Homo-oligomer: A and B are copies of this chain.
Amino acid sequence: MTESSLRTSLYVIIFGTHTRAGKLFDLCLIATILSSLLVFILESIPEVNAQWHEQLRYFEYGFTFLFTVEYIIRLYCSPRPAAYAKSFYGIIDLLAILPTYLALIFPSVSFMAVVRLIRVMRIFRILKLVRYLQDSNILMRSLLMARRKIFIFFSTVSILITIFGVLIYIIEGPEHGFSSIPKSIYWAIVTITTVGYGDLVPQTPLGQSLASLTMLLGYSILAVPTGILTAELSKEMNIHRQLVKCPNCSQTGHDSDALFCKHCGSQLADPDKRVVPVNPPAS
């Protein structure tokens, strides 16, 4: 095997997702990322860290070594290593390994906290696989089509939250815990989303009336995003069923996961290749 063909086959395995080896590599990567996340979570539990500090540290070094090897291979087999290094996932991959090395050189405790935050972002890579699922496209298209309705909805909700926050601040005031407008807006969000922690509650009859209004409003407007998304999703699913045509009998109406025509039984185009454009040209 020449060096060029080695690089090509490494590229297909590591960056691609359609071959058997590529899928296996992706699954291993996800398992490794989730394991390193588990070690990271375990380290944060005082009792566990006190007893297993050394072992967790060695696991951490092991995962960092694996991710370093992966990063070097990605740089090696990529047709344009510089482009990869500068891409979003390239930077994430580097940030996932850099902090452990930096922590070895500068053993600063406060710095380690920030490191841990970056480590979590590695799990976003899982979404890479999700992109290739047809169902994910339908969900994404629905959200995209509904984006203007959702924006209008969130603008209205923001205005309502501000008004309710200011009103409760005036009615209840600092003596009942509503010490500033930002804190009162926090209360309005806690109430309108029906979370209801109970750390800040209105105590005057007028405040309780306003809170009741906020709750009933929050309870009702929950219907709006659901209605918007459901209507779009139904439309998208219908559009999809009309777009995919059987190559043999030309009939449509196939489900998003159908592999064979339900009218004549001939094989349909590979779902991964039925590219339904995410951004329709005229929008």
Contacts of A224 in B (CB 8 A): 139, 229
How far apart sit A182 and B39, CA to CA, in the bound complex (Å)? 12
Q: Are A230 and B237 in contact (CB under 8 A)?
A: no
**Per-residue B-contact encoding for A178-216, CB less than 8 Å = 1, 0 else:** 011111011001111111111101000100110110011
Instruction: Assess whether A234 is interfacial by the CB under 8 Å rule.
Output: yes
Q: How many copies does the complex hold?
A: 4
Taking the closest CB of chain B, its distance from the CB of A114, in whole angstroms, is: 8
Residue of B nearest to A196 (CB): B195
Taking the closest CB of chain B, its distance from the CB of A212, in whole angstroms, is: 4
Contact of A120 among B136, B163, B219, B231 (CB under 8 A): B163
Residue of B nearest to A224 (CB): B229
Contacts of A159 in B (CB 8 A): 123-124, 126-127
Contact count band on A: 35 or more
- Interface stretch (choices A13-21, A52-60, A94-102, A252-260): A252-260
Given A45-B182, A182-B205, A197-B201, do A229 and B219 touch, yes or no (CB 8 Å)? no
Taking the closest CB of chain B, its distance from the CB of A203, in whole angstroms, is: 8
Taking the closest CB of chain B, its distance from the CB of A191, in whole angstroms, is: 6
Q: Are A199 and B201 in contact (CB under 8 A)?
A: yes
Instruction: Assess whether A75 is interfacial by the CB under 8 Å rule.
Output: no
Residue of B nearest to A212 (CB): B189
Instruction: Assess whether A247 is interfacial by the CB under 8 Å rule.
Output: no
Q: Are A229 and B227 in contact (CB under 8 A)?
A: yes
Given A195-B191, A199-B201, A283-B258, do A170 and B113 touch, yes or no (CB 8 Å)? yes
Instruction: Assess whether A107 is interfacial by the CB under 8 Å rule.
Output: no
How far apart sit A146 and B194, CA to CA, in the bound complex (Å)? 23
Q: Are A182 and B41 in contact (CB under 8 A)?
A: yes
Contact of A170 among B117, B174, B211 (CB under 8 A): B117
- Interface stretch (choices A2-10, A82-90, A147-155): A147-155
Q: Are A186 and B198 in contact (CB under 8 A)?
A: no
Contact of A194 among B135, B156, B195 (CB under 8 A): B195
Contact of A257 among B121, B148, B170, B181 (CB under 8 A): B148
Q: Are B170 and A152 in contact (CB under 8 A)?
A: no
Instruction: Assess whether A1 is interfacial by the CB under 8 Å rule.
Output: no
Given A44-B181, A197-B196, do A223 and B229 touch, yes or no (CB 8 Å)? yes
Residue of B nearest to A219 (CB): B193
Contact of A152 among B117, B135, B155, B225 (CB under 8 A): B135
Give 9 A-B contacts (CB < 8 Å), ordered by A residue.
A37-B162, A41-B185, A46-B179, A113-B170, A117-B167, A219-B222, A226-B230, A227-B233, A262-B282
